[in-house]
Every structure is written in structure tokens, then in C-alpha cells.
Structure 1
Amino acid sequence: GSLMVSQAAEIPPYSVVHNSFRHNPTWGAANTALVRWLPAQYEDGEKQPKGWNHGRLHNGFTLPLVEAVSKKIMKSSFKRKENLYSQLMIEWGQFIDHDITFTPQSTRDATDIGVDCLDTCQNIHPCFPIQVNYESAKGCMPFFRSSPACIDNLHLANNFPLQRQQINTITSFIDASVVYGHTLELQSLIRNYTSPTGRLAINKIFKDGEGRPYLPSVEASPSACFQNPRAPQEDPRVECFAAGDSRVNEGLSLIALHTLWLREHNRLAGALKVLNSHWSKETVYQETRKIIGALHQIITMRDYIPKIIGQESFDRYIGPYMGYDPTVNPSASNVFATAAFRFGHATISTVVRRFNESFQTHEQFTHLRLHHTFFSPWRIVKEGGIEPVLRGLMGTAATSVSTDKLIAEEMTEKLVVLNIQWKLDLAALNLQRGRDHALAGFNDWREFCGLKRLKIKEDFQDVVKDKIIVNKILKMYKNPDNIDVWLGGLVEDHLKDSRNGPLFSCLIAKQMKSIRDGDRFWWEAQGTFTKHQISELSKSSLSRIICDNSKVTEIPLDAFKYGKYPNGFLPCNHIPNINLEAWREKKKTG
């Protein structure tokens, strides 16, 4: 069995454990199976992915190759901008996804069968290569199946015990595990235990121009991260950064957000220690962590989710908070992690913009093609810190998805993964991942959400206005029931004021509601914070956090809303602030 890290390992000393938690200690815990809202549809009923057996018929037809779907339907070279939201909103989606789910892949070689997944084009567990119909190139792209969860914890998590299930290695709760890690071991790597004020560790070599800290480096050096090709030999290497989540170095925007939260933790810890000089460093650390976790929940549920599913879906599926419900399982679902929350992959911008103080193209640091920013922490350290990137995110309108332009070419042709030498295709990977997990098809999920199954072309035209795309999909899949859920969810026309169609809006909403209602430590749950603290916390915003921890001095009230500078930008002293007095504790005399 896998190591069970229950949420208990995460619980700060001040918490009270209710009975319900003892009944379901694995709910939402790290290293447990992703839950299934619908049973898996493996080809052998147990573990073979969809498309494993060549020639196997599904509803009378073979499934189209994911690579062909990517090339014919997904690929786009130009993405429209919309002017409602900023690119920062897109990046928050990736950041918060990393707080909720992480599905590990099987290790590289199938040693028991003596095959390396990088060299085979055959389906042999754990290799499930993506077949490519190129005449010239290699016949496949490598693909590693997600690791299976151990059988012995399955009965706890799922109603479908004999099927292969996949793991979520991190806690499903929005608990800032992305900042603090999801194990005690990881936490100890990123804490500064010598600090009397309960701080997180910072980079020992580099800091920004104002003396603000960067994330610490990973322990092993030299690390795999790319280096500045033009750096003089004697320059110290900029190693990969370490954070609560190992994916921090994937892109500059992620690094910038991780850096903000590191600084915010240390800023709050210092202020709380001043207010409560009698607090031990452990108390300071835990109380700060508790506030940071609450801020992640507030920014996500109040400022982010309504924009991506639309207020109407929010009211319909999520509704007002009614308190902790011990019968709700907060665990991440397989369809959310593998399909619905990957809607964001279609909104990745192919260019990373970097702006100066007046939100114009930076004189020194030009815009970068996305593939030049993967695993390149040196660009933050050597190219002006996090500010040019943050301003670029706030000052650029979010890319929008149009059905005929789903995935940027930069992601289908040039995706870089460390230690794998060829360029991967994100769209094909996502489709293959859905099949690896044997997710039910698009129509089954529509039915699950109370939406109508789409049987004939006319049904499709009700939900996908673009006739050409409907024809392409029906031509490739032959039977509507075979459509991969990720593709189907992406092509639906968006709901009003939403970034998603009806299916993904429903699935994301259901997941968020269960994460909120099933969390005993939700920031508004009774006993988590005092009434005074709750009213202070609700004044907070991502804008305020950027103001407090960077050189940015002007910002929109809601950093996710797009305005062309200077329209809608306010000086930082106009952005509301938390008054930490609510955390002052009288020293007990006794």
C-alpha cells in the first residue's frame, strides 16, 4: 500500500478533531485515490485504457488516435484576446490546480518487463505510447500511465474497488499545500527552523533589487533547470527553486506567484510576532499558515471560480456557504483533475509579456515565446525579478478559447518536459491521459450533470455553434458517445459571463462545492477564525498581496479584471488591507 498521509499530519495543534473526521480520515488526504463520480470504462473492465487494444470497437467504431484529434481539431496558431479578464486569472487557475491535484506517473521503465517507455511504440504497462501517423518521424510519442493506487486503500475511497484507480499525491483541500508542502518532510525542507519568527526558508544566494527574497534552491545541485546561455562562466548557477509544490519551475508566472506567497508568509509572520511577542516560533508559523490557507480559499472561491463558471452556475451548483458538512467527501475527483480543470490548457498564452512601471513593453526584457520560459528560474533572478512578469500578467487581456482554435501551437509542437528529449503535444497528452484513466465519455458526463445527451448533428449545433468543428468531430469519432470528455467540454459554447460551457461549469462547480463544504477548516467554518478575523480576512485580495510583496505600486482592485493601464488602476494605498489587530492575543497570566 502507499504511504497514507492523512490530513491529520497537517493539522496544527490548535485544532479540535470532530468525530466525523475520525470516520473518514482519508477523505481529501494526500496519497489516496482520486474519487470516481462515474465508474471507469476500461477495455477489460479492470485496467486497460481506452484505445489499448488496436481495433477494439467502442459503440461500433474504433477510437480516433489522440494525435490526429490534436492535429485536426485542437491545433491553433492564433488565439483571440478577450477584454474582460487579465492573463493573471489564467495563471491563478494553474497555481490553484497545483494546490488541489497532482497525479503521479509510473516511473520510466517497466523494469519487470524490461522495456523503457521512451523506446517502445507498443502498449506494455506502464507504457501507453501516443501513436503518430507521420510517414517520416518516429511512430509514437512516449507516454507513461498514471501510477495506480494500491488496492488496500481503495475500498475506502471508491465504490468501484476492482478497477485501477489513480492517485492524488497531495491534499485535495485548498490549504496552501502549494506553499507549505503536503508532507512533514517537504515542509521541513522549506521552513527556516532557526528563525525565531516562524519564517519560510529563502534563497541564500540571490535576492531582488529591493532586497526582497527569492524561493530557496533545491537541495541537489546542479539541478535540471536551464541556465542563461550568455552568462559568464564565473556567474553562480541559478538552480531550480524549491517550493511546497515541485512544479514551481514550470514557468515564470508560476515562479512569480510562488515567490509572492513566500514573501507574504514571512511578512505576516514578522507582523504577528510583533503583535504577540510571547508566541513561540511554532505558533507564529502555524497561525501564519492558517491565514495564508484562508487567503487561497478566498481568492479562489470569491474572485476566481465565479468568473470561470459564471455567476449563474455558481449560484445553481455551489450556492452560499452553510457550514461544514461531515457527510461531504472533499476529495478531488478523477474527471476534475484529468479533464474539467484542464480547460485552462486551452487558455495558455503563447507569449510571456514583460512590462515596465507604466505597463508598456519592458525596454530591457522583451516578451518571450512560451517555450523559452519553461524551467528557467534564471530569468526571474537575472531579468528584473517578478515584477515585469506580474505586470505582464495584469496588463494583458486573457486569451479566450474559440472552438476553432483550442490549443496554441506552442503547446502542441514545443512542450518541454525535463529529461525527455523530444517536444511533446499537450492536447494529445491530455486526451491520452483521459483514456489512461478510462474516463467516461462526453455524453455520459453530460447526463451526470443533468444535461441532454447529444445524439444527432442538430443536438450538437445547440451546444456548439461552429458547424465546421461539429462536422470534424462527428467525422472523426463516428459515434457521439465516443467523444473524449476533455474535448467535448472544451468545444461547448461558453455560458454567459463564463469561461466554460455547461458541462465543465457543472463539474468544476461540484468539485469546488465539495472541497468547500467537506473542509472542517474552511475559513468561514465555525471555530476556524473569530468573527472579527473573518471580517478582516474578507478585505484581502490578490491585488493587496502583490502590493505588499513586490515593487508594483498601481493595480486594479481586482487583479483578475483587465483594464488598459491606467484605466481602473489604483495606487496601492487605496487597496484595502487586513488589520492584524484581530490576531492580537492577551498574554495569559497565571
Structure 2
Amino acid sequence: MKPIFLAFISIAFAIQITNAVSDSVQTLGRPFIQRALQEAMQMVDAAYKYSRDADISKIEKRELSPFQLLSFSKRPSAETRTAVRAADYMEATLDIIHRKMSRIHKRSLNVTDLLSAEDLNVIARVTGCAAQTALPSCNTIPLVDKYRTISSVCNNKKSSRLGASNTPFTRWLPAQYDDGISIPRSWNLATKYSGFSLPLVRDVSNIILHTPNENLPQDNLYSFMLVLFGQWTDHDLTNTPTSPSIRSFNDGIDCSTSCQQAEPCFPVQIPPNDPRFEDTKSCIPFFRSAAACGTGYTGYIFGSSNVRFQINQLTSFIDASMIYGSTDSLANQLRDLTNDFGLMAVNQNYKDDGYDLLPFVNATKNFCATRSVVTKDPTAQEIQCFNAGDSRANENIALTAIHTMFLREHNRIAKIFRKLNPQWNGETIYQETRKVVGAFHQIMIYRDYLPIIIGPDAVNKYLSDYTGYDDSVDPSISSVFSTAAFRFAHLTIQPFIFRLDRSYQEHTLYPNVLLHKTFFTPWRIVFEGGIDPIIRGLISMPAKLNRQDRLMHDELRERLFQLTSQVALDLASLNLQRGRDHGLQGYNAWRGFCGLSQPKNEKELGEVLNNQTMAKTLIRLYGTPNNIDVWIGGIVEPFVPNGRVGPLFACLIGNQFQRIRDGDRFWWENTGIFTDSQKSALRNMSLHRIICDNTGVQEVPPSVFRYFPYNDNYTSCSDIPKFDFSAWKETTLGTHFLYRSNAFPINMSIEVITIDQRTVTYRVVSMPGDGTYLFHSLCYILHGHIRLTLGIRRNIVSYVLNDWDRFKVWTDDGTGNNYTTQEHYKSEMLKPFTYGSACELMAATELFGCRFQVYRNGQMFYTFRQPPMPLKHLRLTGDDFSSGHFDVYECLNSQKLDVKLSMKPVVYLQCLTDAECLFNTSPTNTVVIETNHETQTDYDNSNASCEI
């Protein structure tokens, strides 16, 4: 028997069942609203569960489809899942209300006419959307002026969510949706735009982009490393989540098997006589990007524009988030918290010729169990996916290699800082190292990468001398940058990942491998020579040249994420469909935005493209230059002088990076971020040195972004100057002592939550450590610090084992099942990073003699125990107890007390049904457990004024 934690339990606390009737307009009434919320949340949760079960089934059968691999590579963090689920809850609720009332009234109506302002507030609060749009306070964040937060909250202290993770992409031009709100262009293929229908995106891909793998044009100026560094940079800035559901909420259509269009399904339709799809299904699965809370059809709840916006689950700043993560929970998960050295966690099972590898994902199911499928060897040893700051780290082995190299660079610098400043504790080492690595990336991107891409004219226009931080600049990533402009590099990817030996010849044991055979194959790093052969291939082989007649090769257009014979994805079609999904205006609108000419006909378009044949083909497909999808229009433009994109993308990319720099309070050149001597040292950093310091590569070309065949002035690593860290040595006591009170960092912020329809302000004490959140929270509640967490864990596990028959039905082994034996439970739960669940919270209430209220999305989610026990508050971020993130809610006026929580006797409420426990009804039976323990608390926060 498992406890059923239904999401709608919070409704019982947030909604009083009363009818609301205004003076002039009758509203729907709270019982109706409550039922709609319950139905919507059950419907969304059921769709999520269906999708999760489908994934698990495919993994177990090793039948992962390409679209599932794509979905996995963009898997949202716990915080992002919460944001997406909140938006899905809200949209489903409003849709249910609209459908039911339309049946009653038999006419078109506006839901807002039937919902009072209070109703709208309740819906926003219960679904969780209110919490997603609230502005965090910056006043209580420690060292908010010294270090950027992981989520980039409070980078801009006037608008604390600007540029932060899990906020909407911005728009530089109004969105173009068929209904003005959410329906993308070409949803209805018969719709005309400027008198013409839009072509199927697969038609555009087949006719304009089709390029065989053979005889590709090579870029004789730039290396393949330039391409991968561009992807690396993109993964620091943009990641757009889709809904976790593969099934439409209203009618249950499975988007992975059906070609029907129903939110969130927007399949890529296949044209007649498509050479690859003659005998297969007539579409490629495509899922719409998740809408941000308060946008699209839910926008009027917040009284703002109701045009659909999409979520960027990353920060908008160049902060090396692909190494460190963009949320606190992921950042803490990636750290080595077993010591106080400021290190990142590394793999405990494998090494790469003595060098560290990325740690494995802590998961029971394995999306990267691809070795037996790719090698056709059913006995092949499988390994888990690697874990990193960005979920796409396993997308291909070249990207994995760069992730691995920078993980090593962090730990290398951290060890130097520990020797240089032995007085620093682990938190200071981590923050200072992260700050330096972030500066390294800012310098490499602006000094070395962008001038090659956008050319000197655009650099002079957008990225001339830095004049300082401007808090009026919005650094948020624009949808056109993420969805079109910065996807230019897809046309420069080689169809192979090159693997070279020490002599820069193709490796005899581990030869070059086709790109589609490197997708989600971390085992190639572990078992096939590590990252050195891949790094050599990146720095010594040329990029593919983007040419108008040789655009995208078949590895990306016909075999994307293909591991088996299943139908692969088409990257070109996905890019075009995504642009329509995001409501991007057409080619000419964006040329107008950049102050460029706007061709009106085929002749003028041919002059812009310097190619009348290409212009004729585009006009045949689109009818008018106005209709051309901005991505395809941008990639076929001739390069700007000394650049690798055309004028439109040079403008859009330059514009975006100007905003990122000028709107970043922690930009490395901004006053007070680094000392003058540190800035001087930073200017001498190079990617050459990072490669030499963190791999077995011993010779490098004069520039790792320019193409130099081997032996063309290659330099020994011993001749490249080492980076000088002496400017970071402290000669006086610094701020590091601010962290000395705890072995691990604890961050605090302020949050308003709702109890019985009354708002209460709490301090949120954020807990670190993947799997240890619950035990850290309990330790902090009892002692005011988290140094005794392991002891708390051991005591709780012992308590459960001593009454196993009662507790075992509440245990959770991480897969949704109970632990079957005491031995299994003990061996797993005594590991320092195994998640706790409802079972351990139940045990804690008895062991420590207090009751807990758990809140999710600002609403009460679950209560353990009844009065008169002292009340403690916990915040849950995530879907359930066994995988969510726990933090502590602490009363603002709490004070340190010397209190003993008596634990004899303790009354345990033994519920005979799930419902009794779920709704805290009087138990059918109680069991009195005698204990002989007392626990001394250093800090008690159960001040009565915080209880309502």
C-alpha cells in the first residue's frame, strides 16, 4: 500500500466552499471552481504518469525512440517541472471551465466574465502559477553583491527575476500566432498569409537543405572546435522545456503515435512522395514548448498580455551554468559535499587515464543504455548517463568531452585556491572558482569566438568598449536568438566525430564515428579511449562550411537521434517547426528590425541572397519573402565580411550578446567584480592552456578555433605560459569567515505562503545536497545547522528498522515501490545521498516529538501529526516526497531557545486507510510507543505567532 499524495489536497486548504456572486454579474461559485481544479490537476497528473510509464517501458525494452532521446536531452530540472506543471494545471483548469460553461450557455463566452478577481487569485495560487511569477526579495540573500546566485535571481536587484532561470524568453517583435494568442502559423494548413499558404517544414527541408554526407565543403579557416564551442555556449544560455506529457490533456491523444494536432502535439507533417517516409507513418512527432505561467490563454489571470511565451530553464547570463547548473538543487547535486574543499563531484567508478570523469546520474532508469543496441552485442556492459549542469551533456561525445574538460578545470583551480588561501573554507573556494571559470567563458566568447562569427563590423556596432553595468538593460534571451539565429551552427557540424591518436592520425583502436552513432553514448568515453582522441579531433579538423547549395547533411536531417531502425528526427524540420511554435515573425519583419532592406519579390530577394536560383526556390515554396521562416532566411544569406553568418543573424546575435554583457551585474569587467591585478591576469587566459592542463593532449595549434593541419606550427603544451593565480592570494582576512559557521552553505530568502487563506511571511532556508535535502532540513530544524545530518539519518533509519512491519508499507525505493526487506532498506538508506520520503518524515515526527506541515507552490500539501506537538514547516519543490527538494520555512520572528522536545510517550496515528492519513481524519486505531530518548535543540522556530 502506498500513500496517495494527490496534488489537489492543497485546494482544501486554499478554497473555502462558498458561492461568490458580485453585485452585477453572477460568478461560478467556489464549489464549481474547486471541482474544475481537481479535475484539471487529476487530468494533467494522469497524462504525466502515462508519459513517465511509457518512457520506463521503452527503457526496459531498450526501444527508445529518437523523440524520447530528444525529450530526455531537454529534461527539465525539478524547479522547471514545477513551473511547467503549474502552467499546465492553470491552462487545463481554465479550459475545463470554458468547455463546461459553453455547453451550458450554448454560446461563445469569455471565462473572465464568470470568474471574480478572488476566483482568479485562487486559481493562480492553487495551480502554483502565483509562486512562479512572484518577485523574490534580494535583501536576505547572503553575499548578493559578491557572488551571483546559481539561478541568477537578484542579478538585477530592481527586477529580481530578470535573466533568472525558469523565466520567459523575451520578444523583440510581437508574436505572430494565428489567433493572436497561442496557435502557431500553419496549424491549419489552409490558412493564408499574405495570400499564400505556408509550406510543410519537411518540404522546405527536402528541397532546400538536403545534403548527402559525402563530399561536403570544408571550412579551410576554422576548426571543428569552433562549432562545438558554439554549442557549448548555447547550452549556457538557452534550454526550452516541453511539456512532460506525450498525451493531450483533453482527449488523450498520444502524440508519439498519432499524427493528430492537439495541444501539446504539433506533429511535423510528411509531404507526399517523401523519399524517407514512403512506407512509414506520415509525421514526425513534435511537442510544443511549454508555455510560461500567465501567458497564452492563462494570461488574463495576471491582467497582462495573453500572448504565449516560452520558458528558458537556464539563466540568461554567461555564468558557466552548463558546468554548475541553473537551479540550487542541481548545483548542490553536482558538488562534492563529502568534504570542505569546494570541489565538483566526479565519477567514483571510472577514470580516464588517471583524469576524472563526470559523475553518473543518480537514476534507476537508464536512457544511455545504448551500447548493446549500437554495437549489436547483447552482453555489452552498459553505464549510466553522465551528470552535468546541463541536461544535454550526453547528446554527443564531443560535447561530453568539453563538459569533462571543464569539470576538471574547476577542480584544478579549486585545489590551487585551497593551497593559495588555506584560510578559505569550501564554500569560498567553490564560489571563487566558479567566478573565475565564468570569467574565462565571458572572455573566450567575446574575445575569441564572436568576432569570428559576426565579423568585425557587427563587433564594432554592438560589442565595442564596455562602459559598465546598466540595470535598465534586459539581458533575457530572446526567442528569435534561441529559436533561429543561434541555430546557424547546425549547418557547420561535421557528419563524423573525429578521434585521433597522439600523432594526430585516425585512431586505430577507436576510429572516427558517424555522428548519429555518438548520440547518448557516454560508454564511448569510458570504454573507447576517453576524451583525448576527441579533443584532438576537434582542434585539428575543419568545420563543415555552410554553403547555399550544401546546407545540412543527412546525419542531422535523416538520422538525428537514431540508434535503431526507428524513424529518426530531422533537425531542419524541427528548427522550422519550433520557430512557428514560438510565434516568430517572418524573414522580412526581422530584417526590418535590424534596419536591413526588405525584399518584396523574387528579384529583390535574389539580390539580397546573391543567388537568384535560391530566391526562386524560396518564392515557389513561400509565395512572398514576408512568409519565409526566419531561420531558413537567415542561414541562406551570404556571410558578412570576415564572418560566418549573414547580415540578419550578425545583427540578432550581436544584439543579444550586447544585452547579455551590459545587463550583467557580475560581468568580469564591471567595477568591483575583480581587482585590477586579477583582471590583468584574466586577460591572459586561453583555451589552449585549459586543454593542456586538463587532458593528455601535448601539442596544440596556434589557435584552437582556426584550422591548422597537424605540424603546421603546433606548439608543445610545455611552451604555453601557465595561468598566474597569484592575484587571488589574500593578505588580509576576507569574507570567507562569513561561511565558517557551517560545514556546508545555507542560503536564505523570503517567501509568502498561504495558510487558511491568510498570507504569512516566512524565511526560506535553502538546503544543499542531492538526496540529503530532507535530512538536512530536519537537522537544521533541530540544531540550527546541518553538521549532524548523518546522525539524524542514522537515527531515523534505526527507528524505522525497529518497527519494520509498520513502516515498510510507507517506504519508497525511488521507483515508486516499497523496500521489500530490512536489509535492502538499511543498505540504501544509510548511504548519504539516498532520498528520504514520507516514511522517514513519519518516523521523524515520533522520534523528535513534533509535527510537520509540508507546503508546495505556497500551499499546504500535507500534514504529519496533530496538535499539540510543536509545529515545523517544510517547503517541497518537485512532484513527490521521494524525489523532491526540501527546504525549511522559518518564522521571521523566531528566536533561539533552549528547548527539550520530550519523546515519551509518543502517539503514532496508525491510519487504516490512505484517506484517513491524507485528510488527517481521526485514526481508527492508535499505537503508543514508549521511548527513552530526549533530544536537545539548539534552535527552535515554532513560535506561536507563525501558526494560524
TM-score range, shorter chain: over 0.9
Q: Quick one: distance in 2 between partners of 1:41 and 1:485?
A: 12
Change (3 A) 1:3 1:84: same
Which deviates more, 453-462 or 356-365?
453-462
Q: Quick one: distance in 2 between partners of 1:9 and 1:231?
A: 57
Give yes or no for contact 2:236–2:318 (8 Å, CA) kept in 1.
yes
Q: 1:86 aligns with which of 223, 235, 257?
A: 223
Q: Secondary structure at the match of 1:98?
A: helix
Q: 1:488 aligns with which of 614, 633, 641?
A: 633
Q: 2:189 aligns with which of 51, 54, 60?
A: 54
What is the CA-CA distance between 1:12 and the residue it aligns to? 7.1
Change (3 A) 1:471 1:569: same
1:284 matched to 2:419:
no
Give yes or no for contact 1:79–1:401 (8 Å, CA) kept in 2.
no
Q: Quick one: distance in 1 between partners of 2:132 and 2:412?
A: 34
Q: Quick one: distance in 1 between partners of 2:706 and 2:381?
A: 39
Q: Secondary structure at the match of 2:543?
A: strand
Which residue of structure 1 aligns with residue 755 of structure 2?
none
Q: Quick one: distance in 1 between partners of 2:174 and 2:583?
A: 9
Which residue of structure 2 aligns with residue 105 of structure 1?
242
Which residue of structure 2 aligns with residue 296 of structure 1?
441
What is the CA-CA distance between 1:80 and the residue it aligns to? 0.6
Q: Quick one: distance in 1 between partners of 2:331 and 2:217?
A: 41
Which deviates more, 65-74 or 467-476?
467-476
Alignment of 1:290-439 (within 5 A): 290-416=435-561, 421-439=566-584
What is the CA-CA distance between 1:189 and the residue it aligns to? 1.2
Which residue of structure 1 aligns with residue 165 of structure 2?
30
Change (3 A) 1:231 1:140: closer
Alignment of 1:106-505 (within 5 A): 106-107=243-244, 108-134=246-272, 136=278, 137-151=280-294, 161-209=305-353, 211-229=354-372, 237-416=382-561, 421-505=566-650
Which residue of structure 2 aligns with residue 517 of structure 1?
662
What is the CA-CA distance between 1:390 and the residue it aligns to? 0.5
Change (3 A) 1:337 1:11: farther
Give yes or no for contact 1:536–1:582 (8 Å, CA) kept in 2.
yes
Give yes or no for contact 1:416–1:422 (8 Å, CA) kept in 2.
no
What is the CA-CA distance between 1:561 and the residue it aligns to? 1.2
What is the CA-CA distance between 1:473 and the residue it aligns to? 0.8
Give yes or no for contact 1:7–1:26 (8 Å, CA) kept in 2.
no
Give yes or no for contact 2:606–2:613 (8 Å, CA) kept in 1.
no
What is the CA-CA distance between 1:16 and the residue it aligns to? 5.2
Q: Secondary structure at the match of 1:173?
A: coil
Give yes or no for contact 1:6–1:29 (8 Å, CA) kept in 2.
no
Q: Secondary structure at the match of 1:201?
A: coil
Greater RCO structure (CA 8 Å; 6+ sep): 1
The C-alpha deviation readout for 1:86-110, integer Å capped at 9, x for no partner, is 0000000111101001111122211
User: With structure 1 as the length reference, what TM-score do the two structures score?
Assistant: 0.95
The C-alpha deviation readout for 1:406-432, integer Å capped at 9, x for no partner, is 111111110017999530100000000
> Residue 329 of structure 2 aligns to which amino acid in structure 1?
E
Change (3 A) 1:159 1:483: farther
What is the CA-CA distance between 1:351 and the residue it aligns to? 0.9
Q: Quick one: distance in 2 between partners of 1:406 and 1:587?
A: 58
What is the CA-CA distance between 1:332 and the residue it aligns to? 0.2
Give yes or no for contact 1:7–1:30 (8 Å, CA) kept in 2.
no
Identity %: 44
User: How large is the Cα RMSD of the aligned pairs?
Assistant: 2.6
Q: Quick one: distance in 2 between partners of 1:14 and 1:166?
A: 28
Q: Secondary structure at the match of 1:84?
A: strand
Give yes or no for contact 2:158–2:471 (8 Å, CA) kept in 1.
no
Give yes or no for contact 2:237–2:314 (8 Å, CA) kept in 1.
yes
Give yes or no for contact 1:555–1:570 (8 Å, CA) kept in 2.
yes
What is the CA-CA distance between 1:588 and the residue it aligns to? 2.8
Q: Which has the higher strand share?
A: 2
> Residue 314 of structure 2 aligns to which amino acid in structure 1?
I
Change (3 A) 1:315 1:362: same
Give yes or no for contact 1:543–1:559 (8 Å, CA) kept in 2.
yes
Q: Quick one: distance in 2 between partners of 1:488 and 1:288?
A: 41
**Unpaired segments ≥5 residues, structure 2:** 1-128, 149-153, 738-948
Give yes or no for contact 1:324–1:520 (8 Å, CA) kept in 2.
yes
Give yes or no for contact 2:576–2:629 (8 Å, CA) kept in 1.
yes
Which deviates more, 497-506 or 220-229?
220-229
Give yes or no for contact 1:374–1:416 (8 Å, CA) kept in 2.
yes
> Residue 339 of structure 2 aligns to which amino acid in structure 1?
S
Q: Which has the larger radius of gyration?
A: 2
Change (3 A) 1:517 1:419: farther
Q: Quick one: distance in 2 between partners of 1:54 and 1:429?
A: 17
1:13 matched to 2:143:
yes
Q: Quick one: distance in 2 between partners of 1:155 and 1:536?
A: 48
Give yes or no for contact 1:533–1:582 (8 Å, CA) kept in 2.
yes
User: With structure 2 as the length reference, what TM-score do the two structures score?
Assistant: 0.60
Which residue of structure 2 aligns with residue 45 of structure 1?
180
What is the CA-CA distance between 1:17 and the residue it aligns to? 9.5
Give yes or no for contact 1:9–1:184 (8 Å, CA) kept in 2.
no
Q: Quick one: distance in 1 between partners of 2:418 and 2:137?
A: 27
Q: Quick one: distance in 1 between partners of 2:429 and 2:285?
A: 46
Q: Quick one: distance in 2 between partners of 1:407 and 1:17?
A: 42
Which residue of structure 1 aligns with residue 915 of structure 2?
none
Change (3 A) 1:350 1:60: same
Change (3 A) 1:515 1:155: farther
> Residue 252 of structure 1 aligns to which amino acid in structure 2?
I
> Residue 283 of structure 1 aligns to which amino acid in structure 2?
T
Q: Secondary structure at the match of 1:113?
A: coil
What is the CA-CA distance between 1:317 and the residue it aligns to? 2.1
Which deviates more, 566-575 or 14-23?
14-23
What is the CA-CA distance between 1:576 and the residue it aligns to? 3.1
Give yes or no for contact 1:6–1:30 (8 Å, CA) kept in 2.
no
Q: Secondary structure at the match of 2:221?
A: strand
Which residue of structure 1 aligns with residue 66 of structure 2?
none
> Residue 484 of structure 2 aligns to which amino acid in structure 1?
A
> Residue 84 of structure 1 aligns to which amino acid in structure 2?
L
Give yes or no for contact 1:557–1:575 (8 Å, CA) kept in 2.
no
Give yes or no for contact 2:295–2:309 (8 Å, CA) kept in 1.
no
Which residue of structure 2 aligns with residue 63 of structure 1?
198
> Residue 168 of structure 1 aligns to which amino acid in structure 2?
N
Q: Quick one: distance in 2 between partners of 1:14 and 1:151?
A: 28
Q: Quick one: distance in 2 between partners of 1:9 and 1:395?
A: 50
The C-alpha deviation readout for 1:230-277, integer Å capped at 9, x for no partner, is 598887532100000000000011100000110000000000000000
Change (3 A) 1:274 1:419: farther
Q: Quick one: distance in 2 between partners of 1:588 and 1:202?
A: 31
Q: Quick one: distance in 2 between partners of 1:134 and 1:474?
A: 20
Q: Quick one: distance in 2 between partners of 1:185 and 1:163?
A: 31
Which deviates more, 217-226 or 340-349?
217-226
> Residue 235 of structure 2 aligns to which amino acid in structure 1?
H
Change (3 A) 1:528 1:349: same
**Unpaired segments ≥5 residues, structure 1:** none
What is the CA-CA distance between 1:557 and the residue it aligns to? 3.6
Give yes or no for contact 2:205–2:572 (8 Å, CA) kept in 1.
yes
Give yes or no for contact 1:443–1:454 (8 Å, CA) kept in 2.
yes
What is the CA-CA distance between 1:558 and the residue it aligns to? 2.4
Give yes or no for contact 1:10–1:182 (8 Å, CA) kept in 2.
no
Which residue of structure 2 aligns with residue 559 of structure 1?
704
Q: Quick one: distance in 2 between partners of 1:86 and 1:329?
A: 33
